[in-house]
Structure 1
Amino acid sequence: MISIFSGCRIKSGMTGLGLFTTASHLEKSPVSSDYPRNGHLEGFLVVSRTKFEGIFSLNMESELEMRRIKGLLIDLDGVLVKGKAMKPFPDAADFVALLRDEHIPFRIVTNNSTKTPEGIVRRLQENGIPILSQEIVSPLSICPQVLQERGVETLFVMGSDGLKEYLAANGFLVKTEATVDAVLVAQDRTLSFQETKIAITAIKSHGAALFAMNDNRVILDDDGMVFPGAGAICRMLIYAADYEGHYVHFGKMGERYNQTVFEEFHQDKATLAIISDDLYTDITGFQEEGLMGIFITSGKYGVDDISTGMKPDAIFDSLSEVAVFLINR
């Protein structure tokens, strides 16, 4: 087994990230007993590190491609922050600082539909992560234009009050009844039986179109439990209302969202990577677009959730571990 750290360059002074100062801190291990290896993870390089008491694995076939990374798409929830309060992970601010120091371009790609891009930037800055508004791509920056292009004027929104206010401020009439042009599904922590009835009736009886802020299956709540995301709710509505066709969503892997993201980078997709805790929408989805998929286990999915056919290019437990690789390519 060949360590990716052979002949590596280790930076000192990175105590905020807890990075190594010498290569001697790295310990190779053919199989780590702490790592739940299974049939889907065969062929991964596993390196244990005594200082972090953790491991990461790198698909050996992807090692050379990983070294060609010239830009990063970084998921927000479960990677940089966690919970409704958007509390940063301990290494998040240092990781962003490292990317700036290393001149690695990046964009924060989020499916968050509860806060405006400006609100996200403000919260991140308050929590010590200096992000600029142009460094975030959000469904809320995509949604109004697409709805207007589709001729939508009236909406029934399954989502937060903040989202409803945002849409009203952008010229849409947000109603609480079924006679609307479209139903828009977003993250809804207070989803009720009445809301579900109105949405199904709007689609089935009044011909409302169906839109979603993103295609998320599940969302990790602060108590460690998960609840259905907009994608899961949309699939329920489609089945219940016998909706013909597919819904349009404004999040990651949506046509307009991806177009916006890739226009931000002036380089080949093969030189980009996505860092995310979402195996379905982000890792598998962006791999199909030609990007490297870096799976991080700090969010809603773990290695046990990797199913047959999924093949992340790398698996890390934290941003600190990603940083170790990036500065030693």
Structure 2
Amino acid sequence: MKKYAGYMIDLDGTIYRGKEKIPAAKDFIERLQAKEIPFLFVTNNSTQAPEKVVANLAKNFDIHVTVDNIYTSALATADYLHDLTTKKQTVYVIGELGLKQALLAKGFTFEEVTPDYVVVGLDYDVTYHKFELATLAIKRGAKFIGTNADTNLPNERGLVPGAGSVIALVECATQMKAKYIGKPEAIIMDKALQKMGLTKEQVAMVGDNYMTDIQAGINCGIDTILVYTGVSTKEQVATKEIKPTYELDSLAEIEI
């Protein structure tokens, strides 16, 4: 198995399953830290600030990292939009605090009527009024951005609506497709590479979901390591034309 200079790593299904620990995850991260191999948790979750992700890993999974190890679809969205222009831009947001903070940190200001961009992510308190403002702004010419296309999220109650479901309502109302940033799009991977300061040939994407994690690596030309600890099964992956670079039962099998 090839040894990489750096790793991009998914969270839910790879490092933990909801509130459940994945036994090999803590050891894998500690092995990377011991050898000072750079790694970045690349997650489609746009709702939480990196500080919250770090706190959750420490408190619930005894995995100790810093905010520099976290890259969310919210951060990727803010980086992508910031790199598009040098001028001060305005944005209307449907989303949680993590997304809003990421955009504010890049110098965006909020505008409800005539924003340059409408950015839509998962919003636990979404209302008709928010959808109305987003729809009207896009109809007036705002560029339509979606953090990620995940239609559902697994939790202890089952599969609940994800960001993709929220974005789909705005797509239906506007008859326009959003520009997506998160996995499986190459955008979030390219931005993550820039943050790590590594090339595509130097890194691997580690994840449990073929349709998001692995497809993101494939779309970006990055090697992929699928671990069968979460969403995808061996039977499902066997039907795919393009296979992951490596398929493993556990993070313990990754040689670093």
Q: Is the Cα–Cα contact under 8 Å of residues 72 and 106 in structure 1 kept in the other structure?
A: yes
1:184 Cα deviation after fit: 0.8
**Larger of the two Rg values belongs to structure:** 1
In the alignment, residue 95 of structure 1 is paired with which amino acid? F
In the alignment, residue 107 of structure 1 is paired with which amino acid? L
- 1:160 to 2:96 alignment: yes
Query: Partner of 2:155 in structure 1?
Result: 221
Q: Partners in 2 of 1:168 and 1:101 — Cα distance?
A: 35
Q: Is the Cα–Cα contact under 8 Å of residues 248 and 254 in structure 1 kept in the other structure?
A: no
Structure 1, unmatched stretches of 5+, are 1-65
Match of 2:136 among 179, 196, 201: 201
Match of 1:132 among 48, 52, 66: 66
Q: Percent identity?
A: 28
Query: Partner of 1:315 in structure 2?
Result: 247
Query: Partner of 2:43 in structure 1?
Result: 110
Count of aligned positions? 252
Match of 2:210 among 254, 267, 279: 279
1:5-154 paired onto structure 2 within 5 Å: 66-83=1-18, 88-127=21-60, 128-148=62-82, 149-150=84-85, 151=87, 153-154=89-90
Deviations 1:261-305 (CA, angstroms, capped at 9, x unpaired): 255254x53443211123223202212433222223333443454
* TM-score, with length taken from structure 1: 0.63
Q: Partners in 1 of 2:7 and 2:105 — Cα distance?
A: 32
Question: Against the structure 1 CA distance between its residues 160 and 246, is the aligned structure 2 distance closer, same or farther, given a 3 Å change threshold?
Answer: closer
- Residue 284 of structure 1 aligns to a residue whose secondary structure is helix
- Residue 158 of structure 2 aligns to a residue whose secondary structure is coil
Q: Partners in 2 of 1:100 and 1:170 — Cα distance?
A: 29
Calculate the aligned-residue CA RMSD, in Å. 3.3
Q: Partners in 2 of 1:162 and 1:269 — Cα distance?
A: 27
Q: Which has the higher helix share?
A: 2
- 1:293 to 2:229 alignment: no
Query: Partner of 2:175 in structure 1?
Result: 242
* TM-score, with length taken from structure 2: 0.78
1:131 Cα deviation after fit: 0.8
Q: Is the Cα–Cα contact under 8 Å of residues 6 and 37 in structure 2 kept in the other structure?
A: yes
1:310 Cα deviation after fit: 4.2
Question: Against the structure 1 CA distance between its residues 301 and 240, is the aligned structure 2 distance closer, same or farther, given a 3 Å change threshold?
Answer: farther
Structure 2, unmatched stretches of 5+, are none
